[in-house]
Amino acid sequence: MENNLFSHKVIVFHERVTPEPGKLVGYGAIIAKYNLQVPIPDKIALISEKHKKYVTDTWKVFTPRHEPRQTLSGHLTFALKYEGVDLGVLKKLFSKVPNNTIKELIEAEPTSLYTRRIWFLYEWLMDEKLELADLKTGNYVDVLDESLQYTGLPENSPRQRVRNNLPGVKNFCPLIRKTSMLKKFIEAKLDAKIEASLTSIRRDVLLRAVGFLLLKDSKASYAIEGENPPHTRMQCWGNAIGQAGQKNLSKEELLRLQSLVIENARFMKLGFREQGGFVGEHDRNHGTPIPEHISARWQDVETLVDGLIETNDKLKNAKFDPVLAATVIAFGFVLIHPFVDGNGRIHRYLIHHVLARNGFARKSLIFPVSAAILERIPEYREVLEHFALPRLELIDWETTPDNNVEVLNETIDLYRYFDATKMAEFLYSCVELTIDQIIPQEVDYLHQYDEFKLQIEQSFDMPDKMIALLVRFLEQGQGTLSTRAREKEFEMLDDQEVTQIESLYNEIFR
C-alpha cells in the first residue's frame, strides 16, 4: 500500500516564503515527505485556502478543489498534470522508495494516463524493468505534456503505450518549460527577421560585416573570461567560430576546439579532465578552494559528453527550436566543464554551432552572441549561479593536496537532468539584442566608414591605411584628434584641415 503523505500548512519551504499559508502539493510535497536532496524546482505548487489561482516568481498557487489525494500516486499525478516532468526529482524519488511501492502504484491503475507515464519514467530513469505485463490496449499518451514543456521527436514505447517525446537521452536530458517569454520570442520568428534585414544590405558590405562580427565575437568571448590575448590569437579563434556548423559535433571535434583555445599547453594536460574541477577562487592564506561552481566528477565526464552529443543529434532530427537547442547543448557543456581550461569559449562556440547547424540563419553569417553576453554579464552570471548555487550544498567534496576539489558522492544526475528554462530565456534575449542592435550597428558603422573614407579621399587623397589610422584616433578621442596624433602621425595637416576632418567625422559618426 502507498504511504500517506502528511499534508500540513507551510509558510516557508527551503527558505522560500509562501505568498500565503497553504499546503505543499506535487513535487514540493514529495521532496518534503521523502527528504529528497535535490535542487528545488523554480516554482513550487501550493494549495491555498482561498479560491484564487495565481502564479508568482517562485510559487504556483492552486485552489482547494485542486488538492490531490494524500498519497504518492496523488501527488505524482498532480505534479505531472500541473508542473510537468522533473527528471531530477523523479530519479531521486525512485532511488529512495522500494520498487514494490512503484509497482503497487502502477498495478492500482495500470491504464491511467498518468500511471503509464510514471511507469515509463521509472523504467527509463532506473534502467530497471518492473515485474509487470505489457499493456495490450489503450491509446498512446505523451510522456511530456507539450502545453507545459518543449518536446522532442516522439518514439512509441509499446510496453506502457506511451510516446517518449523527451528531447534528450538517458545520459543527458535537460528540460525547458514553456513560459510566456519564450513563447513570445519563438512567435517573433527572429530567424526570419534577420534574414529579411540582410537582404537589404549590399553583398560587399555584408561580407565585410561578417569579418568584423567574427573578430568582435572572438574579442568578447575572451573579455568574458577576463583575458586580453594578442590580436593574432583572437583572429585565430574568430576563424574557428567562422567554421561553426560545418562539422558534426563529436568528442574529437571538442578536443580539436580545445587545442585551438589553449595555445600553450605546457602547464596543463589537454583532453577530458582526469581530476576534479571548480570555478571560483582560492583562499589567500591557505590556498584552499572557494568554489562557486563544482564541475561534474571527472569519472562522469565522458558519459555526460556522450549523452550531450547524442542529444544534440536527436534535437537536430526533431527540428527542435534552434535557440532552445543551443541552450541545452552549450549550457549543458559549460556546466559539465569537461576540460581543465577553455570551457567558456567552447561553450559560446557551441551556441554558434547549434544555431548554424539547425538553420537559424544563413551559414555565411555568424551571430556575435558573445558580444551580447558581454553587455549582459550580470545576467549571465545570475543564470549560471541559478544552476550552480543550489547544487553546491548537495555536493560532498574535500580539498586535494594540490588545492583542487575531489567530489565524494554521486552527482551525475545534477548535470544530466536540470531545468534550462532561465538559460533559454537569457540566450533568446541575447539573440534578440544581437539582431536588433549589434548587427545593425556594425552594418551602420561600415556605411559611415565608407562615407567618411570617400570624402577624405576626395579632399586629401589620403591612402586607405592612413584613413583607418585616422578613424581609430578619432574614435579614441571621441571625435577629436589628440595633440600627440596631430604632432606625429598627422603632422602634415594644418589646424584648418584638422578642424574640417573632426567636423566631418562628428557629422557622419556621431
The total of other beta-carbon atoms located within 10 Å of residue 48's CB is 21
Residues 153 and 85 in one domain: yes
Residue 377 · residue 248 · CB < 8 Å: no
Work out whether strand 16-25 and strand 9-13 pair parallel, antiparallel, or are unpaired. antiparallel
Evaluate if residue 275 carries a pLDDT over 70. Answer: yes
3-state helix, strand, coil in the chain (%, to 5): 55, 10, 35
The set of cell numbers assigned to 181 is: 517569454
Q: What is the pLDDT of residue 200?
A: 67
Length of the chain, please? 510
Specify whether 152 is located in the same domain as 254.
no
- pLDDT computed for residue 207 by the predictor: 64
Cα dihedral sign, 30-31-35-38: positive
pLDDT of residue 138: 87
Query: pTM of the full predicted structure?
Result: 0.89
Give the residue, 114 or 242, on which the prediction is more confident.
Answer: 114
Closest CA to 316 of 359, 373, 377: 359
Is 16 strand, coil or helix?
strand
> Are 264 and 349 in a shared domain?
yes
Cα distance between residue 30 and residue 89, in whole Å? 9
Which residues constitute the domain of residue 349?
180-434
Span 271-285, mean pLDDT?
88
As a whole number, mean pLDDT of residues 247-259 equals: 90
pLDDT tens digits, 4-19: 555 678 899 999 999 9
Q: Could you tell me if 336 and 296 are in contact, meaning their C-beta atoms sit under 8 angstroms apart? A: yes
Task: Identify whether residues 428 and 471 lie together within a single domain.
Answer: no
Last residue of a domain, one of 164, 189, 224: 164
End-to-end Cα distance, the chain: 75
- Per-residue pLDDT at 1: 45
Where residue 109 falls among pLDDT bands split at 50, 70, 90?
Answer: very high
Dihedral angle of Cα 215, 246, 348, 328, to the nearest 10 degrees: 160
Q: What is the per-residue pLDDT for 283?
A: 84
Q: Which residue has the cell 527558505?
A: 15
Examine the pLDDT at 116 and tell me if it is beyond 80.
yes
* Distance from C-alpha of 510 to C-alpha of 503, rounded to nearest angstrom: 10
Average confidence score pLDDT of the chain: 88
The verdict on residue 416 lying in a domain is: yes
Pairing state between β 155-157 and 162-164: antiparallel
Least confident of 355-369, 378-392, 431-445: 355-369
Contact 21, 7 (CB under 8 A): no
Burial state string for 96-126 with b = 16 or more CB within 10 A and e = fewer than 16: ebeeebbeebbeeeeebbbbbbbbbbbbbbe
- In this structure, are residues 187 and 417 in contact, taking their beta carbons and an 8 Å threshold? no
Mean pLDDT along residues 480-489: 89
Q: How confident is the model at residue 436 (pLDDT cuts 50, 70, 90)?
A: confident
Claim to verify: residue 229 and residue 159 sit in the same structural domain: no
Asked if residue 259 belongs to a domain, the reply is yes
Residue 74 maps to a domain: yes
> What CA–CA distance (Å, rounded) separates 394 from 338?
20
Number of domains in the chain: 3
* pLDDT exceeds 90 at position 509: no
Tell me the chain's radius of gyration from C-alpha atoms: 27
Using the 3D structure, point to which of 417, 434, 451 is the last residue of a domain.
434
Q: What is the DSSP string of 455-505?
A: HHHHHH---HHHHHHHHHHHHHTTT---HHHHHTTTTTS-HHHHHHHHHHH
Query: Do 424 and 358 share a domain, yes or no?
Result: yes
Written in H, E and C, the secondary structure of 260-317 is: HHCCCCCCCCCCCCCCCCEEEEECCCCCCEEEEEECCCHHHHHHHHHHHHHHHHHHHH
φ, ψ of residue 149 in degrees (nearest 5): -140, 155
Whichever domain contains 324, its CATH number is 1.10.3290.10
| Residue 294 reports pLDDT greater than 60 | yes
CA distance 500 to 507: 11
Q: For residue 47, which of 76, 7, 6, 87 has the smallest C-alpha distance?
A: 7
What is the CB neighbour count within 10 angstroms for residue 460? 16
Residues 68 and 78: their CA atoms lie apart, in Å, by: 6
Span 158-181, pLDDT tens digits? 999 999 999 999 999 999 999 999
The DSSP code for 275 is S
Asked if 306 and 403 count as a contact pair (C-beta separation under 8 A), the reply is no
pLDDT for residue 235 is more than 60: yes
What would the pLDDT profile of 29-41 be if each residue is shown by its tens digit?
A: 999 999 999 999 9
Cβ proximity of 320 and 167 under 8 Å: yes
Q: Do 245 and 142 belong together in one domain?
A: no
The position carrying cell 574614435 is 475
Q: At what angle do helices 203-224 and 439-460 cross, to 10 degrees?
A: 120
Is the same domain home to 214 and 355?
yes
| CB 224 within 8 Å of CB 377 | yes
Q: What is the pLDDT of residue 461?
A: 84
Is the domain of 30 the same as that of 58?
A: yes
Looking at the fold, whether 195 and 282 belong to one and the same domain comes out as yes
**Residue 3 is assigned to a structural domain of this protein:** no
- Flag whether pLDDT at 312 surpasses 70: yes
Kindly state the percentage of the chain with pLDDT values over 70: 88
pLDDT of residue 125: 98
Q: Do the domain assignments include residue 441? A: no
Select from 164, 197, 225 the last residue of a domain: 164
Q: Kindly report, residue by residue over 175-226, the tens digit of the pLDDT.
A: 999 999 999 999 998 888 877 776 766 666 666 666 666 666 666 666 777 7
Which letter, b or e, does each residue of 474-494 get, where b requires 16 or more Cβ atoms within 10 Å of its Cβ?
beeeeeebeeebbeeebeebe
Q: What is the pLDDT of residues 48-84, one digit of tens each?
A: 988 889 999 999 999 999 999 999 999 999 999 999 9
Residue 253 lies in a domain: yes
Count other C-beta atoms under 10 Å from residue 388's C-beta: 21
Same domain, 158 and 195: no
Half-sphere exposure of 120 (CA within 13 A, CB side): 28
Task: Read off the pLDDT of each residue in 439-467 and give the average, rounded to a whole number.
Answer: 87
Sequence-distant (≥ 6) Cβ neighbours of residue 20 within 8 angstroms? 46, 48, 49, 50, 61
Q: What percent of the chain has pLDDT over 90?
A: 59
Residue 344 pLDDT level (bands cut at 50, 70, 90)? confident
- 155/184 same-domain check: no
Domain assignment of residue 18, yes or no: yes
Mean pLDDT, residues 147-161 taken together: 96
Residue 3 pLDDT > 60, yes or no? no
Say if 1 falls within a structural domain. Answer: no
